[in-house]
Each structure stands twice: as C-alpha cells, then as structure tokens.
Amino acid sequence: MKYEMPEINLKALFLGDKGENVDLFKELLLKMVDEHVGWRQNYMPQDLPVITPQDRSSKDFQETADHMRSVFNVLSSKLRTHSLPWHSAGRFWGHMNSETLMPAIIAYTAAMLWNGNNVAYESSPGTSQMEEEVGHEFAALMSYKKGESWGHICADGSIANIEGLWYARNMKSLPLAIKEVAPEFVEGKSEWELLNMSTEEILEILDQIPEQIDEIKTHSARSGKNLQKLGKWLIPQTKHYSWLKAADIIGVGLDCVEQIDVDDNYRMDITKLEEKIRDLAADQIPVLGVVGVIGTTEEGQVDRIDKMVELREKLAKEGIYFYLHVDAAYGGYARSIFLDENNEFIEWDQIDEVYAKHNIFTEKCEWLTRDVYESFKAMSQAETITIDPHKMGYIPYSAGGIVIKDIRMRDVISYFATYVFEKGADIPALLGAYILEGSKAGATAAAVWTAHKVLPLNVTGYGKLIGASIEGAYRFYDFLSNKEFKVGDKTIHVYPLTKPDFNMVDYVFNEEGNTDLEKMNKLNHDFFDQASYVKGGLCNNEFITSHTDFATPDYGNSPLPFVKSLGFSEGEWDREGKVTVLRACALSPYAHDKEVFEEYAVKLEKAIQCKLKTIYNETK
Amino acid sequence: MKYEMPEINLKALFLGDKGENVDLFKELLLKMVDEHVGWRQNYMPQDLPVITPQDRSSKDFQETADHMRSVFNVLSSKLRTHSLPWHSAGRFWGHMNSETLMPAIIAYTAAMLWNGNNVAYESSPGTSQMEEEVGHEFAALMSYKKGESWGHICADGSIANIEGLWYARNMKSLPLAIKEVAPEFVEGKSEWELLNMSTEEILEILDQIPEQIDEIKTHSARSGKNLQKLGKWLIPQTKHYSWLKAADIIGVGLDCVEQIDVDDNYRMDITKLEEKIRDLAADQIPVLGVVGVIGTTEEGQVDRIDKMVELREKLAKEGIYFYLHVDAAYGGYARSIFLDENNEFIEWDQIDEVYAKHNIFTEKCEWLTRDVYESFKAMSQAETITIDPHKMGYIPYSAGGIVIKDIRMRDVISYFATYVFEKGADIPALLGAYILEGSKAGATAAAVWTAHKVLPLNVTGYGKLIGASIEGAYRFYDFLSNKEFKVGDKTIHVYPLTKPDFNMVDYVFNEEGNTDLEKMNKLNHDFFDQASYVKGGLCNNEFITSHTDFATPDYGNSPLPFVKSLGFSEGEWDREGKVTVLRACALSPYAHDKEVFEEYAVKLEKAIQCKLKTIYNETK
C-alpha cells in the first residue's frame, strides 16, 4: 500500500446509526462478492458451469429458490423484532456491544465465501498468514518483544482465559517433570523451590535439553499428575464468572481458586494480595498464578498490574514466584491509546501533546490518571494476556484472542497430527496443535486483519476510536453526576459508582431520604426492567441500559463504602447483602461529540423521567 | 410459513462452482442489508443521522474511505492468491471442505449486522431463540426424546469434545460427591460401585434432592478432587488428536487415555474393547467413558455404536458401566439420511423405497450396509454427541455443536452470573453458564437455523445433500478402483484403502512390482506435494487432494492387512512403520451427477497422469 495513512475519520468506518454509509457498504460488499465470483470463474475456465440455464429455469429450482426466499422473510422479521439497537448514537447505554467496524463486517463476509479453516495452513494459506500477522500485532500492542512473542485469535475471552490457565498449569508443573526426567537440571531444589521457579528459568532449562522436551511434557500436568500440588489461582473479587468455570475445566478445580478483595475503586487490593501470598507461603502452598483484570466486566475498572509486577519482583527475592495472566478481554485494545505511531509506549509527560497532535479527544477529558497509565504500561510483564477483538476491537462476534510473552511457551502445550503438519514453515502448519480449539474460521482472521490495517493499533488508529468511547463515557458520567428527577413529590438522585478507569459507567437511582437498601435495589431493578427487553421493549425503547448485582458471596464488603456514601447504614448492608447497580458500557463511536451528546442528553433525560414515572405509577 | 415444502433442488442452494447463482445471492444479500438499514432508520426515526452529508463530503472522510478501499484491494488480492478452490465441482478431492450453503452465508452476514451475542438472552433475544431451536433440532436428529434433551452450538468439534469429556468427568464424580453430602442415597455402595453407577441412576438421585445439588456439585470433580479415581477414557486408534488435547485440558490427563485397536475396516474392534474393559475391571479400574466415532477424521469410517451399546448393556449386568460419547463431528448430519419426513428412523426394509420416493440417489449406490445403518441408529443411546455444522452441515466455519440426551445433565456443569441471569425463562437466560464458551456469535445460530429451515434434517432436506456427497464419493471410489497409469515403462496402480462407510475415500498409488514400502510412501507424498499448495499451486492446480500417515505410534499394526494386500511383507511394515495415504473428502454437491462426474473423470485422469509424470521426471 503506497500511500500516506490519512487522518482517520471514524464516521467513514461504520454503517452509521441510520445506515448513512449504506452506499459505501454496498460498494465494498459487492466488489468483494464480484471479485470472488470472478475468481471462481477463472479457476479452470475450461470447466463449464454445472448449474445450467435450464437448471435455473426448472420448476423445482424456482420452487426451491422461493422456499429459500420465504425463509429469509422469516429470518428478517425475527431479527428485526428481537434485536437490540446497539447502533444508536446515543440511546443505548447497556451491554458491551455497539456498531462494529464496516471493514470487519465486509471482510468477514468476503472471506466466508472462501471458507478457509485456520486449523491448518494447508487449508487456508491466506487467512492463516493473516492470523499470524494479527498475533504479532497483538504482541506489539502489548510491547512484547518482536520475534520472541506470539498470539492468536480464539473463539472468545472465556476460551482465551481457559487457555491462559492451561499455560499456567502446564508451565508450573514442568519443574516437577524435569525432576523426573532430567533431575540434574534441578539438582538440590526442594519441591517448594521447584514450584517457585520463574517461567524464564524453566524455559531456559528446556532450551538446554530440546531432545528431552517431549518426555518432560509427558510427565507434566498434561499427564493428569500433580494438579493438586500446583497451588492457588488468585483472582480479584470483580472477576468474570468464567474464571471459576476455567478452573473447573482445567482440572485444578474450584478449590484452588481464591478471591482477593478489591479496594474502593474496584481494583484488586494489592496489600491483601501480598498478605494472601505470604499466608500461603507460610503453609508451603505455592501460587499457581495471579489474574489482573484490565477492564472488569461489571465496572470497567483497571487492576494495578504495575503493582502486581512490583510485588512479584519483591517476592522473587524471597523465593516466591507467581505466573501473571492479564485478563484484558475487555480493555486490551485500549492499550493502543498509549502507543505512538511507532508503537512505542508514550512517555507520561508527552501524552497530552501526542493526544493533541492526533486529535484523540475533542475536549479536555478527565479520564487518564497515572494509576491507569502505569497499569497499562506494566502489561508487557505478564506471561499471557487475553484480548477480545469482539469487544473494544469493534469486530463482530465472535473473535477472542490471547497473546503470550515468550513464544517458547507455545511448545509446552503443543500437539501434532500428521495429516496437517508440514515441517519448516514459520507459521504453524497445524495451528490446532498449539491452541485449545481446532477448526476455526479464516473469516475471523480476515475481519481482524482488515480492521487492523484500516486502524493501526496505536494513536493513529484504534487509539482514536478508544478515545472516542472513553470521552463518550465521561460525557455520560458527567451527565448523570448530580442529576435529579422529580416524580410527584419524590426526588430521585443519580449516583455513579466510581470514577471510570475506562469507558464503563455504573450508577444507581435513589429516592431522596431513602435509607432502605432493599427499596433502592428494587427501584434500580424496576428501572432496568423498563430500560430493557424485559418490560421496555426493544425497537420502541427510548433508553436502554443493563444491570448487575454486587452481592456479598462475590464481593464481600467491598461495596460497603459506596453504599454508606448513599446514606445507608452498615446494618442495612448486612441485612440486604447486595446492591443492584445499573451499568452502561459506552462504546458508541459517536457520543464523544459534544453536539451529538447534548442533543441526546435532552432525550435521555426525558426517557429516564418517563420510565421513573411509569415505575412509581405501577407501584402505587 | 404457509406453503408446501417443495422437492429440493440442491443447485438452487449454492453460489455455484462458477458463481452461476450470483444474481440470486446478491438479491437475498441486498434484501437483508436493506431491511437491516430500514430497521436502523426506523428505530427512533425522530433522531437525525449523526453522519451528515457534510461529514461525508469532507476531505478526511474521503481519504479514510479511500484508505479503506485500498485495504480491500489488498485483502481481495490475498484471498484470491492464497485460497483453495473448494468450490470446484470435480477437481477438489482433499480436505473436509467445499462450497457452503448460500442461505447460511447470507444469514450469517445479515445477522452479523445486528451483532447478537448468544452468551445471554438479554443481548440477543432473536438469535438466542434460534440457537435453542437448533439445539432441539439436533436432539431430534439423534432421536433423543423431545423435551428431555438439549443441544447447543459451539465453536468447533474440539470444543464440543472437550465439553463432552467435561460432562463425563463431572457425571462420573457425582456418586463420590453424593457419598460425602448425602450418603444415605448411596448407602452400602463400595467405591467401585459408586464409580459404576449409570448416568440415569445418578440423575434420579439428584432429582430427589434438588436443594442439595449445589453442595453436591461443590464436592464433584469441579472441585479438583478425585480426578485420578475416575478411570480410563477409551478411544479408537483412529481418534482425532484433539482427544488427547481434551484429556490434557480437562485435567484427567493423557495417562487416563487408552486406545483401542481398530479392525480391517478402521472401526473400533469391539472384542478388544470388551477385553480392555474386563482387564481394567479385574484391576478395579473403572471406565470414565468410551468414545465412538461416526466418521473418523482420516478414513471417514463409522464405529459400531450399536455394538458398544450392546456391550454396555451386557456389562451393566456385571456391575460395570461406562459413559458413551459419540464423536460425530464429521458424520453427525448424515443421520438425516435415516430420518423420514416425520423425523422417524426409517425401518431397514423400507429404506430403498423411501430413498426412491425422495430421489436420494440418482443411481443405485453400493454405500449402505446394515452395519452402518445400525451404528447410526444406536446413536440415540449415547449420553452426548458432537456434531459440526461446519462439516456435513455445509455451514461456513466455524460452527460446532453438542447434543445431550438428558437435559438434567446440563445442571451438573452449570454456573451463574447475576448480570445476565433472569429467572423463569425456558431458554437459558445465560447460556454461558451452561457451556464451555462465553460470548458467541448470534450470527452462527442464524446461519445454522436458516440452513435447517431451508433443508430440514431428514430425507426431504439434508438427507438429499448427504446422499449427493456419498454418491459422489462412490463415483470417485469406483473411478480409482482398478485404475492404472503408465509413466514411461512403469505402471502405477491405484488402491483404495477400504470401502467407504461414508463419503471419504483414502487411496494410494503404487508402482507395479514395487515391494519397498518406503518407496511407495515417497511416491504418495510426492503426489500430495504436486496435488496441493506445496508444489502444485492453488489457482492453477488441476487436481487437489490431501494426505495422511498411518504410523505405528497411533495405529499399531492395524494398517498391516492393507499393506500386505499390496504385496508388502510384514518385515517391510516393521521397518517403515507407516503408510502414507492420500485422502479425499467428497463433499461436492455436484459430483454425484453421472454426467458431471464423467466429464471431470477425464480431466482428473489427465491431471493425475501429468502429476505422476512430473514426479518421475523429477526423481530421474
């Protein structure tokens, strides 16, 4: 591509909330269909079409086509009746979804016509190359070393997290296996020491004995042995439920999972993490790994990865080591807002200048703190990172991803099958032997690859889009803060949960003077019902949001400071044991615009007012 | 849909090997795009478009659009340069891929515009309903009882197999958990007896103590306990490598996997299976489960599921029980050729009549044997079945699936998360809590749903398409059988591996008089190189096939009878330890047609001749 990368106008990259870009969409879609058909015609042009004009005129052909047309009428009706208006520029403030990138949709469709299966290079050379390229782009996004790191696309974040835990489990078990197969390399080490070797140390031993790797793997956790020796998997209270599922599936079990309390900002409490690790160490229980979250599912908060890395370095001096996995399913792409056009992590003191140069925000945005900056920066120290293109990559479902810091780890979990394995290629000939899944759509790789080519993973591309979503979130956050509504003689206030670390805004409604937590929870649950499919409808709903419960079994007393700040007593919290929170993922690529937002703000205020009125009338 | 289902003409359902149906394709594609855009415009029509005409005329918009156009030029070029011509009506006889159903491609694209995420009903009501419907269609396809069974879509067959093993592991561990939590329900049972309880018995106990289920689950294998007590996982030698990966991931470990030899037809040897189970029982080692394969990956063969079920019934009388999982990733959809228009399994003595009525084959086909018939029939007795829409469902990658016989098993592996769980719905409010994956494309469900509506899963729909592929395979099989080629003074014969149980044809070339197995293997490997991307190119390759090695570490001596039948000594086999086989999945929806096939047969013969000549010239 021999042209200057232009200043990106995000409005050219989406179909548009009213389908404004439908002509551009069809132009590119039909171009790709035509070029595909041209290719079919020109593969062996001497072969005549097998579907003849006579076939196409036949009665059963026509009837079959009409049958198919009828099915499409049903499909279209169902989709239009039962889908959510994510695309809205300013009315959808709910689940983690939005318009997706036009280039990704079209690339997916185009590549689907070729139906590559990226399980094996042989059956999908083009899209396998694209996936490999995407993997290296992910690695660059994380500031992993070029040539020493790797990544790939997977079905979704749950699968990536399972794979991360699989890596951690098998890595952690290797020293025990080395002791069985090549004991001279770990001579004199106690079991405790073996279970606290760093990933780096382990890989360096394996480098010295390549011919024994297969046997060592045979003795590793993949054998089924030693799973219960590997220690605890530490996750924040804010964890996604899939982490429990992952521990179940991987066989280390739920009993090995321990939750670490979060602080007032819903970030893992690093002091508590250190205490926990030391307590375990005192009982000679190792730590299988620690999960830091970049963009918690319910709050969008950012764990202090930098503090986790610091802690790891400190503990290493005392002979304690833990594997670090970052679950950045949600926030992974946001690291692009920290990379300059050369993919270098921007210095703290230059960041405003760079943002100004690349028009990252339209106005001054209160978002970025040093904490968040340092957390993102430290991601480069994690062994594995989950990143979902179908979240902040604005790629259609489903597209997950995982990145590994040290490509040598790949061999620790790999398998082979002869029919798809050819030696000598840079790109895995059989990707399925290195990852959790088998068959996978080449189309997903094409969609992600195309999106990355249109929007590079730095401030010139995705950074702008991420910036737009954050700015939109802050507009919504500012809109809600100190807002009040009158319904009859009641005054209802809105309270955001916390200053957002990213682009999610959690908030609650509460009636003035109410000290009954159950009542507040009911109000917010009722509001959700009105602002969702449950009672509010979809196609005719003027404001849509989502909700969540922070309940003691998961969150312990972490929500207490917030609950108390609203005027509830500790006793109320103990009695109710949960707080129902409304939850807005602000992904719209349009709502950062001041004029757009202000236009919608008036409509949102009315819609909220109307919903509150309905609720109070219903409860009368 | 108020119209008679027509006699399906398969030619109306594919884009066509030369894009013959491109007009119909575009008609439906654009209809769906237009109807989607109409929906966007009519959600809150009072909201004005945010992308204005002025925006679209601006310099940076135009430059961004041109940048995107340039990226699409690169994408199109890459796809056309590095993709495989699956679509060819008669030249592609390789990997398990082909043209996919036009309705599935268009439905996927359409639904992608709405971007539903089937992880939760709330975020995808329309496509979640479709997935639920598809699950019940899968269950009906397997003759599972209506209302008591369930199924869902997943990423691929590997994920479905992992999920099947996850089910088996957690089910098998439940009696030990019941003994801990509610011992009165398993009073007097020894550990051996606990580990040999049937799935039915276990579920009936759970039915009696619903309030204790959560605690029992906490004590089950999900805790991480008892994984090494659950016994052996028995798979056929022909297994897909992903079974090893599955045992690794699920934590039972590779050490628990044992391979059972296959017979001359590459089906699991049931006598050996019985011996193995009895040997294990003698050592008080239980069987975690047995995997039967419907459509082995390398041979397309069909394990005797009926004999496995028979054996299970026999052993049950001796207090031995095993879980049965059928890996029908490949062959699952083929069960539709055994179901009449009312989805009843057709009686053996009526099958020819039904096939004649529904034009299943164009000519008498030698395919169906009683063995194969009974194997398919007995699938209804398995606990879980893997079925891949992206294989014989002719759905684009990636779309896998799993079906469970007893819906109560679903609760054995389920999790919950508050933010997506609403009580009272028939359809899981949070599908992600019941399955291995989390986020998943609603578009996949729309694609499979639409395909099933166009082609019902019985002889009126998919049965015809499956029949066409089998008939095509038999034409290729007959074409190869007794074929010989002359290159210089050499005569090269072709030998099919076995009579196909399904639509895969494995075959080898061998030089007349050659008794050197290594030489034959080299010939076939060289042939693969010529008939694939390796040396033969893609867009200009006149005949494409795939290959596999049957080597002793996987296959033991099972290939020996075939190898001997070609005139090699047992010593040769022992020396070389493998046989390289060419492998043709016959999925073309066109090659069953006699005229079409015969036209291509002439071309194939020339192309093969030409490739052999190249090989012999190169080796000179």
* Token pair in block for residue A556: 């312990």
Give the model confidence (pLDDT) of A67-120 as tens digits: 999 999 999 999 999 999 999 999 999 999 999 999 999 999 999 999 999 999
Q: Number of helices (H) and strands (E), helices first, in chain B?
A: 21, 13
A333, A419, A555, A600: which one is catalytic? A419
Tell me the C-alpha to C-alpha distance, in Å, between residue A106 and each of A14, A131, A154, A511, B87. Answer: 11, 17, 20, 47, 20
Q: Residue range B41-51: average pLDDT?
A: 97
More confident residue, A136 or A619: A136
CA gap B1, B14 in Å, rounded: 22
Question: In chain A, whose CA is at the least distance from the CA of B15?
Answer: A37
Q: Is residue B221 classed as helix, strand or coil in its secondary structure?
A: helix
Question: In chain A, whose CA is at the least distance from the CA of B63?
Answer: A6
Single-letter residue type at A50: V
Task: Pick the range with the lowest mean pLDDT from A248-252, A425-429, B558-562.
Answer: A425-429
Give the model confidence (pLDDT) of A389-418 as tens digits: 999 999 999 999 999 999 999 988 898 644
Q: Percentages helix, strand, coil for chain B, rounded to the nearest 5? A: 50, 15, 35
Q: What does the DSSP assignment read for A246-283? A: HHHHHSS-GGGEEEE-B-TTSSB-HHHHHHHHHHHHHT
| Buried residues in A240-265 as b, exposed as e (16+ CB within 10 A) | bbbbbbbbbbbbbbbebbebbbbbeb
Backbone angles phi, psi at B328, to 5 degrees: -110, 35
Q: Do B397 and A442 touch (CB under 8 A)?
A: yes
Q: Do B155 and A155 touch (CB under 8 A)?
A: yes
Question: What domains can be seen in chain A, in order of their start residue?
Answer: 157-387 (3.40.640), 468-619 (3.90.1150)
Single-letter residue type at A196: N
CA gap B499, B496 in Å, rounded: 8
pLDDT mean across residues, chain A: 95
What is the predicted pLDDT for the residue at B423? 44
Asked if B457 and B339 count as a contact pair (C-beta separation under 8 A), the reply is yes
Give the model confidence (pLDDT) of B363-397 as tens digits: 999 999 999 999 999 999 999 999 999 999 999 99
CA gap B508, B470 in Å, rounded: 20
* Number of other CB atoms surrounding residue A284 within 10 Å: 11
State the smallest CA–CA distance between residue A317 and chain B in angstroms. 31
Q: Residue range B299-313: average pLDDT?
A: 98
What is the predicted pLDDT for the residue at A422? 45
Backbone angles phi, psi at A546, to 5 degrees: -125, 175
What is the predicted pLDDT for the residue at A416? 67
Q: Do A453 and B422 touch (CB under 8 A)?
A: no
DSSP A240: -
State the smallest CA–CA distance between residue A148 and chain B in angstroms. 25
What is the predicted pLDDT for the residue at A536? 86
Q: Provide the β-strand partners of residue B260.
A: B236
Give the model confidence (pLDDT) of A263-315 as tens digits: 999 999 999 999 999 999 999 999 999 999 999 999 999 999 999 999 999 99
* Residue B75 reports pLDDT greater than 50: yes
Local confidence band at A429 (pLDDT 50, 70, 90 cut-offs): confident
What is the predicted pLDDT for the residue at B538? 82
Q: Which residues of B touch A11 (CB under 8 A)?
A: 50-51, 55-56, 61
Q: What does the DSSP assignment read for B67-132? A: HHHHHHHHHHHHHHHS---TT-SSSEESSS-----HHHHHHHHHHHHHT-BTTBGGG-HHHHHHHH
H helix or E strand, kind and range, residue B381 = none
CA gap B391, B328 in Å, rounded: 10
State the smallest CA–CA distance between residue A161 and chain B in angstroms. 10
Active-site residue numbers of B? 419
Give the model confidence (pLDDT) of A168-212 as tens digits: 999 999 999 999 999 999 999 999 999 999 999 999 999 999 999
Q: Do A72 and B32 touch (CB under 8 A)?
A: yes
* Number of other CB atoms surrounding residue B353 within 10 Å: 11
Q: Which residues of B touch A61 (CB under 8 A)?
A: 9, 11-12
What beta strand segments (E) does A113-179 contain? 150-154
Q: Which residues of B touch A81 (CB under 8 A)?
A: 126
Determine the distance from the C-alpha atom of residue B346 to the mean position of all C-alpha atoms in its chain, rounded to a whole number.
Answer: 23
Q: Do A56 and B21 touch (CB under 8 A)?
A: yes
Indicate the residue of A32, A103, A124 with minimum beta-carbon distance to B76: A32
* Residue B594 reports pLDDT greater than 50: yes
Q: Percentages helix, strand, coil for chain A, rounded to the nearest 5? A: 50, 15, 35
Give the model confidence (pLDDT) of B215-230 as tens digits: 999 999 999 999 999 9
Give the model confidence (pLDDT) of B193-218 as tens digits: 999 999 999 999 999 999 999 999 99
What is the predicted pLDDT for the residue at B422? 46
Helices A125-141 and A442-454 cross at an angle (nearest 10°) of: 50
* Residue B493 reports pLDDT greater than 90: yes
Tell me the C-alpha to C-alpha distance, in Å, between residue A291 and each of A170, A264, A296, A325, B221. Answer: 16, 19, 11, 5, 23
Asked if A224 and B228 count as a contact pair (C-beta separation under 8 A), the reply is yes
State the smallest CA–CA distance between residue A619 and chain B in angstroms. 21
> Is the four-CA dihedral B511, B513, B515, B516 of positive or negative sign?
negative
CA gap B470, B367 in Å, rounded: 7
CA gap A262, A303 in Å, rounded: 9
* Residue B424 reports pLDDT greater than 60: no
Task: Pick the range with the lowest mean pLDDT from A560-564, B331-335, B419-423.
Answer: B419-423
* Residue B340 reports pLDDT greater than 60: yes
* Residue A143 reports pLDDT greater than 80: yes
Asked if A260 and A555 count as a contact pair (C-beta separation under 8 A), the reply is no
Taking CA B564 as the corner, what is the angle to CA B558 and CA B566, rounded to the nearest 5 degrees? 120
Helices B102-114 and B442-454 cross at an angle (nearest 10°) of: 150
Indicate the residue of A55, A437, A454 with minimum beta-carbon distance to B11: A55
Indicate the residue of A6, A20, A600 with minimum beta-carbon distance to B51: A20
What is the predicted pLDDT for the residue at A425? 55
Interface-testing mutation among B27, B41, B59, B67, with chain A (most A C-beta atoms within 10 A): B67
State the smallest CA–CA distance between residue A370 and chain B in angstroms. 30
Q: Do A11 and B440 touch (CB under 8 A)?
A: no
Question: In chain A, whose CA is at the least distance from the CA of B388?
Answer: A439
Local confidence band at A421 (pLDDT 50, 70, 90 cut-offs): very low
Q: Which residues of A touch B249 (CB under 8 A)?
A: 162, 166, 249-251, 436
Tell me the C-alpha to C-alpha distance, in Å, between residue A375 and each of A261, A320, A364, B464. Answer: 18, 22, 22, 57
What is the predicted pLDDT for the residue at A417? 42
Q: Do A241 and B433 touch (CB under 8 A)?
A: yes
